[in-house]
Structure 1
Amino acid sequence: MHPLQHPNFRLHVGWRTIKTAVTAMLVAMVYCLLDRNPAFACIGVIFGMGADKQESIQNGGNRLWGTMIGGLLSIAVFWLYLQWFPQGGHTVYLAMLLGGAIVVLILLCQYFWPGGVQPGGVVLCIVLFSTPIDTYVSYALNRIFDTGIGVIAAFAVNYFLPRARVVALRSRVEGVFKK
């Protein structure tokens, strides 16, 4: 049986879905007005929006701490690589440095925030293999900043608009219209 035909399958747009969509849209609009690419800030929103404040702290923390650790580590590794190959272009050597960097990333995440390994590894690989030599520092710092903005936006929305508050407000509004 196809999953969509299963009797327990239902499409549901809940409060978390709405909060995620609206927050990502608003963050993207602000970024566009500032002429900045909103991609990583919106990813921060999506990762950071949990069903409640605690889940937001866990998921957003994973993304934020991982991005910070991976971003800062990528700056150090790329700088080290450029000491040997100032013009770049020796990706095999960069790949070898990546192996050691992943060990360091995992150790740092074990110490600071265990859930940060995956997002930290993503940032590490993107900076090392997809960033021009002249912009690797600013690129990594911008990813950390943008991710932080997105995660903070998700935290703020979950703090000010928790499910219990919205359900209570909805009940009051429905009560007014029933009278």
Structure 2
Amino acid sequence: MNRLIGMRTLKTGIAVVLTCILTGFFVDNLFYAATACVVTMQDTIKTSFKMGSQRVFGTLIGGAVGFLLFLVMPKNPILCGIGIMIVIKLCEIFKLSSLVVSSVTFFSLYLGYINSAPLAYSLQRIFDTSIGVIMGLIINYVMARPNYYNNTMNEFTKIKELFKENVRNIVIDKKNLNSNSIEIKIRNSEKIYSKLIDEINYSKTDCNLDIVDKSLDLCRQIYFHIKSIELLEKELFLTKENHNEVKKIYNDEEKFIEVKDNESPVFNFHLNKILEKMKNLDELIGTNN
């Protein structure tokens, strides 16, 4: 069951509350600061910094273009169109995802929907946005950050159990193979691992990336061999070697597929690789515990 409120949601709420309370007396417009808090609160500190800095830079672009064109001729339809094209192009050049922020800032300033001097408005918007970004970064850094290393290793443990279940189905009679579930799990572990890489420079948790890399590689290899077995259609037989290895893992099973040493060489090759790499994966995960 999903939690009623996720940690990221809770941290966002706390960041907004603190922004409104602690900075309300010197922030001109809390709307911009609070919105920046929400945008900045991401899964990792690296992503938070990226989104926050883009927010500030986007505000700077919209404010600068709006201010310069306002000095030339305010509220001119043609200049307004040229101005927004400049804003869009600059966002493309700097690869910013904050086009909406840049556009709103530009339109508010150039079209005169402000209650102060254009330059003062531009600087105040940048300041307000920066305050929200800083507050979001602080709360995201100090409060309940996810342990992506442990989360990644836990995913590998789940994948290992899924491998074991699939191998059991293979040796019972190649029934109910579920390679799609394995693929989904591996992709999920890759996503968590990506967040671990983003977070590692900001984390105090001891991380052995070599174990993670090797575990992920083993998972991919085992998946490949299971997928290869899934594609085999004819009747399959176990070699004595594979039969003995399988019995060590599933010694409570009454009956496996028939043993014939000189049959099903492709099948037994893939099965042997699966058993070997499952053992290696188990050792790596055990090293982490």
State TM-score, norm by structure 2. Answer: 0.46
Q: What fraction of aligned residue pairs are identical, expressed as a percent?
A: 27
Q: What's the CA shift for 1:111?
A: 2.3
Instruction: Give deviations 1:46-68, integer Å, cap 9, x for gaps.
Output: 11111221331332233222111
Between 1:103-112 and 1:146-155, the stretch displaced more is 103-112
Which residue among 7, 20, 35 is the counterpart of 1:15?
7
Matches within 5 A, 1:127-138: 127-129=109-111, 130-132=113-115, 135-138=117-120
Q: Quick check: 2:28–2:124 contact (8 Å CA) kept in 1?
A: no
For the pair 1:139 / 2:131, whether they are aligned, the reply is: no
* Higher RCO (CA 8 Å, separation ≥ 6 residues): 1
CA RMSD of aligned residues (A): 2.6
Secondary structure of 2:98's counterpart equals: helix
Give the Cα–Cα distance (whole angstroms) in 2 for the partners of residues 11 and 35 of structure 1: 34
For 2:85, the aligned partner's letter is: V
Distance verdict in 2 for CA 1:155–1:32, change over 3 Å: closer
Structure 1: 4+ residue segments shifted above 3 A = 33-37
TM-score under structure 1 normalisation?
0.72
Partner of 2:64: 72
Residues 71-123 of structure 1 show CA distances to partners (whole Å, capped at 9, x for unaligned) of 111111111115xxxxxxxx4x2x32121111111222222243132211111
Contact 2:32 2:132 in 1 (8 A): yes
Which residue number in structure 2 is paired with residue 122 of structure 1? 104
Number of residue-to-residue matches in the alignment: 148
Q: Which has the larger radius of gyration?
A: 2
Distance 2:96 2:27 in 1: 34
Q: Determine the C-alpha separation between the residues in 2 that align with 1:11 and 1:26.
A: 24
Question: CA shift at 1:11, angstroms?
Answer: 7.1
How far 1:138 moved relative to its partner? 0.7
Over 3 Å counting, the alpha-carbon distance change for 1:28 and 1:125 in structure 2 is same
Contact 2:27–2:128 (Cα < 8 Å) also in 1: no
1:101 to 69, 83, 99: 83
Change (3 A) 1:123 1:34: closer
Residue 177 of structure 1: aligned partner: none
Segments of structure 2 that go 5 or more residues without pairing to the other structure are: 151-289
Which amino acid is the alignment partner of residue 114 of structure 2?
T
Would you say 1:32 and 2:24 are equivalent positions? yes
1:11–1:126 distance in 2 versus 1, CA, 3 Å: farther
Alignment partner, residue 204 of structure 2: none
| Alignment of structure 1 residues 32-71 onto 2, 5 Å | 32-34=24-26, 36-71=28-63
